[in-house]
Amino acid sequence: MTRFILLFALAVVTLTSCENIQDNQTTVQAMVDDKSFNALYAIGNTNEDGSVTIETSSDSRMIKIFLGNSTANAFDLNGSTGHYATYTDTNGNVYTTQGTGTGSVEITDRCASCGTIAGRFNFMAVMPGIDTVYVNNGMFVDVVVGGQETEIAAESDGTFSAIIDTGLFNPVVVNAIDTGNYILVEGQKGGSSLIVRVPITVGAGDYDLTSGGFAATMIEGLITQNANNGSITILSHDRSAKTLKATFSFNVGATEITQGVFEVNY
């Protein structure tokens, strides 16, 4: 059976060899031609044959990396050895490194106990007879590919609910994570998630949910969309006890998320 993991991780990473300024609040970063690709989330699949798929999206664009195993430290993405990558643009056009494409993945860090990897990637993907896309300066952090965390049954870190347009969003799983600089709170049900980020130092009060270190995101499948406006009221935050309670609302495009509330331990 394929183990399906929704990643919920941020990391502070400095790439001194890269001229582009890297966003230290993202899990996957790259430059696609001349446009940045920054994603807070990735989905990792570890299959019975040991192969690994990493999928992520940014502004309706998708990157998928297929690795034939989870043990090697270097992979050639030309497809001849079972390793390849694809890029899907906003129009649904799929480019692949299989065939005439090229690319590589380098694993730079591996956590055996928690089952995560970090690495760098670059590739040239082709839509035969149509166009070519270049993905450079790629990096990913804390992608789950196996180990203890993949075997742990889903547990909730608290309660979370909201109304999406007129429908109740009542998550099956609630995650709350202290990243060092931020607290991430996620309600997840099936392939849908609502995520709220607040600064670790936040105190009780009312805040704009799209500035000052605050953020909100909605994920539907591999489509990730950030809030264009919103607000959050911190009802209580005890950093010693690591408890946080808040209400929130925000808009993602034409979608309204209202009556949001969570109470979590992180």
- Do 102 and 219 share a structural domain? no
Q: Which residue has the higher pLDDT, 234 or 71?
A: 234
Residue where a domain terminates, one of 150, 175, 190: 150
- Do 139 and 77 share a structural domain? yes
- Do 129 and 64 share a structural domain? yes
- Do 50 and 120 share a structural domain? yes
- Give the count of domains, the chain: 2
For the segment 129-153, the average pLDDT, to the nearest whole number, is: 73
- Do 211 and 113 share a structural domain? no
pLDDT at 146: 61
pLDDT at 121: 96
Give residue 225's domain range: 154-265
Rounded percentage of the chain residues whose pLDDT exceeds 70 = 85
Residue where a domain terminates, one of 150, 179, 208: 150
Per-residue 3-state assignment (H helix, E strand, C coil) for the chain: CCEEEECCCCCCCCCCCCCCCCCCCCCEEEEECCEEEEECCEEEEECCCCCEEEEEEECCEEEEEEECCCCCCEEECECCCCCEEEEECCCCCEEECCCCCEEEEEEEEEECCCCEEEEEEEEEEEECCCEEEEEEEEEEEEEECCCHHHHCCCCCCEEEEEEECCEEECCCEEEEEECCCEEEEEEEECCEEEEEEEECCCCCEEEECCCCCCEEEEEECCEEEECCEEEEEEEEEECCCCEEEEEEEEEECCEEEEEEEEEEEC
- Do 22 and 108 share a structural domain? yes
- Do 62 and 96 share a structural domain? yes
Residue where a domain terminates, one of 116, 131, 150: 150
- Do 127 and 225 share a structural domain? no
Under the banding of pLDDT at 50, 70 and 90, the label for residue 189 is confident
pLDDT at 104: 95
pTM: 0.56
Q: What is the mean pLDDT of the chain?
A: 81
- Do 69 and 171 share a structural domain? no
- Do 102 and 21 share a structural domain? yes
- Do 236 and 162 share a structural domain? yes
Under the banding of pLDDT at 50, 70 and 90, the label for residue 182 is confident
Lowest mean pLDDT among 13-22, 172-181, 238-247: 13-22
- Do 144 and 89 share a structural domain? yes
